Amino acid sequence: MAERSVTTPSTRKELKDTLWKAADKLRGSMSAAQYKDVVLGLIFLKYVSDAFQEKRDQIAEQARAEGLDEEDVAETLEDRDEYASGAFWVDPDARWAALVADAKVTEGSTIGQRINEAMDLLMRDNPSLAGTLPRLFNGNNVDQRRLAELMDLLNSVQFSGQGAAKARDLLGEVYEYFLANFALSEGHRGGEFYTPASVVRIIVEVLQPKTGRVYDPCCGSGGMFVQAEKFLEAHDADPTNLAVYGQELNESTWRMAKMNLAIHGLGGNLGPRWGDTFALDYHSDVQMDFVMANPPFNIKDWNRRESDPRWVYGVPPAKNANYAWMQHILSKLAPGGTAGVVMANGSMTSSSNGEGDIRAQFVEHDIVAAMVALPDKLFRSTGIPACLWFFARDKGVGPGGSVDRRGQVLFIDAREMGYMITRAQRGLRAEEIQRIADTVHAWRGMEQLAVSTADVTVEEDAEVTAAGAEYEDVAGFCKSVSTAEIKAAGYALTPGRYVGMAEAPKDAEPLDEKIARLTSELNAQFAESSLLQNRVHRALENLA
C-alpha cells in the first residue's frame, strides 16, 4: 500500500480540501477532461463499493435474524437479486478493499489497470452503467504512485452510513465540491458541465418540482436534477415522485451526469448515450411537467432545420441557438407545465434575424410567466450577463396557482443582490433566493415554502422563512406588467425597463427645518474657515 502522505482530515471541509489537493497532484500531463474523468471515476468507484458493503451488511444481519446458519448467510450474500434495490452489484475483483490491496505496482500489473478492469466489471454487471464509466486509469500520463496515494486517502473515509440522507451524503458533497472546482479550473469550458448552485436553486425554488416529469435538454453534470431531489428532501417529499429525463451532447459530461445521479441515489433516463438534442431528441414522445435548463449561450454552429416542427413561434436564426433552445423547451411542456431557463441578457431585447418577432410571439401567446435579471459574476465560465426566463403553459387559476395572471408578466430585477466570494466570483444568499422565489409565488398565488439553507450563505441575522404575503409591486425590484404595456415597449423583456428606480429612503425631518439646519451649519463652517484664514495670515506676518 502506498504510504499516506497526508493526515486524515477531521471535518468535512478539511476532507474536501484535502481530497482536492491530493487529486490535483494527478494533473501532470493530463488534459483537463481526462484529469476530471480519472478523479471523479475513482470517487464513484469508492461510492459504489461503500454502498454495496453497507447493503451487504444489512442483508447479512437480516439473514441471521431469520435464523439462517453461516453457510446459508454466505450463499444469500452472493445472490444478486438481494441487491436489486439500494446498491449496484460489485464483483469481488471490483470491490474497493481488493483494489486497495493491489494498489502498489506489482509484477507488471498497475493499479490503473486493475481499476480499468473494475470499471469493466461494474458496467458488465449493472446494465444501467453500460458505457458510462471512464477507463483512463492506466494511461501513460497517469502517475500510478499518486493514484495509489489518492486511493489510500479515500480509503480512510466511509462514504455511507445508516440513516444518512442521500442528498446530505458525504460523497455527494465531495462530488459536487469537485465539480465546482473543476469548473473553476477549466474556466470557460467548465461552463459546459456546471451551473452555479445559487442559480440552480432559484430555478428549483421557483418551480417547486414536487411530482411529475422533470427534464433538462442540456443537462451537463446533472446539477438541476440533484437540486430538485434536495428540494424534495428539504420538504419531506418522496423523491420517487419525480421522474428524471435529460440529454447531453458531450460524452465526458454525459458520463459525469450518470455518475452524479447514481451518487445521489437518483434514477433517470439520460438517453442511451450522449447526443445532440437538436439533431435527435431522445425523449420526443414524452411531455414534461417541469423543464430546468442552462443551455450554452449564443451557439453559432448548431443543427438547424427550417422545417423542424418545434419552431412554432418562428424559425430561429442560423447563427444563434438561444431561441431554438427556448422553443425546444416549450415543445416539451405538458399542458400545465412550467420551465425555468438561464439565458444571456441579449435574449431579452435582441431583434436581429427574427429573434424579436419570436419573442413577440412568446408574449402574445402568453407563455412567459416571469423574467429575472441576475447579478453579474455568478458564472465562472463566462462574463456574459445572464437572466432567467420562466415559462408557463397556463397562467390561469388552477394547480399552478390561485391567482389568474393571464395577460401579465412578472419582472424581477435582482442585479443588486449577492456577495463577492472572490474578486471574480459572486454568490447569492439564502434569503435573497427566498425573496425571489417568494415574490414569484405571491404573484402567482402559490404555496410559499422556506428554502433550504444548505450550500448557500445566510446572513447572521437573516430569517429564512416563508413569507406568505400577498403580492405587491416594489419599485426597483419587481412589477407585474400587462401584455399591452410590453407590446408598447417593443416586446423588450428587460426587468429594469419596467420596475423603475427604488424609492429613496424617507427623511423624517421636515424639509423647511432641514434647510434651516443645513444653512446654519454651513454658515458656522464659513465662520470657522474665516477665523482660521485670519490666524494663518497673522502667523505669516509675524514671520516676515
Q: What is the 3-state secondary structure (H, E, C) of 79-121?
A: CHHHHCCCCCCCCHHHCHHHHHHCCCCECCECHHHHHHHHHHH
248 and 378 housed in the same domain: yes
Lookup result for grid cell 412578472: 410
Q: How far apart are CA 323 and CA 317, in angstroms?
A: 8
Q: Looking at the structure, tell me whether residues 160 and 195 fall in a common domain.
A: no
| Residues 125 and 199 reside in one and the same domain | no
Within a domain: 437: yes
Separation of alpha carbons 360 and 363, rounded Å: 5
Q: List, in sequence order, the alpha helices (H) in 412-503.
A: 430-444, 483-488, 495-499
Do 125 and 210 reside in the same domain of the chain? no
Do 329 and 422 reside in the same domain of the chain?
Answer: yes
CA distance 491 to 481: 12
Residue 423 within a domain: yes
291 in helix, strand or coil?
strand
Report the pLDDT value the prediction gives residue 5, as an integer from 0 to 100: 40
Would you say residue 539 lies in a domain?
no
Are 159 and 66 members of one domain? Answer: yes
Nearest-angstrom CA–CA distance, 437 and 431: 10
Question: Taking Cα atoms as reference points, which of 251, 246, 187 lies closest to residue 218?
Answer: 246
Element (H, E) at 290: strand 288-293
Q: Which regions in the chain score pLDDT beneath 50?
A: 1-10, 162-168, 188-191, 461-467
Q: Parallel, antiparallel, or unpaired for β 212-216 and 288-293?
A: parallel
- Distance between CA 379 and CA 421 in Å, rounded? 12
239 in the same domain as 139: no
Distance of CA 346 to CAs 297, 325, 328, 342, Å?
10, 14, 19, 12
Where is 174: in which H helix or E strand?
A: helix 170-186
What is the tally of helices (H) and strands (E) in the chain? 16, 10
User: Are 195 and 154 in the same domain?
Assistant: no
The residue length of the chain stands at 544
Residue 182's pLDDT is: 74
Provide the CATH number for the domain around residue 116: 1.20.1260.30
Report how far residue 369's alpha carbon sits from residue 411's, in angstroms, rounded to the nearest whole number.
9
Tell me the three state secondary structure of residue 363: helix
Tell me: do 153 and 252 sit in the same domain: no
Q: Name the residue among 32, 85, 79 with its Cα closest to residue 55.
A: 85
Domain boundary among 499, 515, 539: 499
Q: How far, in Å, CA of 472 to CA of 434, rounded?
A: 16
> Is residue 239 a part of any domain in this protein?
yes
Q: Are residues 468 and 335 in the same domain?
A: yes
Strand 386-392 versus strand 408-413 pairing type: unpaired
Rounded-to-integer distance, Cα 480 and Cα 301, Å? 36
Q: Which residues contact 342 (CB under 8 A, 6 or more apart)?
A: 195, 199, 203, 293, 294, 295, 386, 387, 388
- Structural domain includes residue 182: no
* Domain presence at residue 495: yes
Of 376, 223, 393, 207, nearest to 294 (Cα)? 223
CATH number at residue 288: 3.40.50.150
Domain span at residue 358 reads 191-499
CA distance 508 to 67: 80
Tally of domains within the chain: 2
| 370 close to 408: Cβ distance less than 8 angstroms | no
Beta-sheet pairing, 426-427 with 419-420: antiparallel
| Same-domain status, 91 and 230 | no
Q: What gap in Å lies between CA 72 and CA 298, rounded to an integer?
A: 61
Q: Kind and range of the H or E element at 63?
A: helix 32-65
User: What letter represents residue 489's amino acid?
Assistant: A
Residue 381 lies inside a defined structural domain of this protein = yes
Q: For residue 37, is it within any domain?
A: yes
Domain's final residue, options 164, 180, 206 = 164
Please indicate, yes or no, whether residues 262 and 372 belong to a single structural domain of this protein.
yes
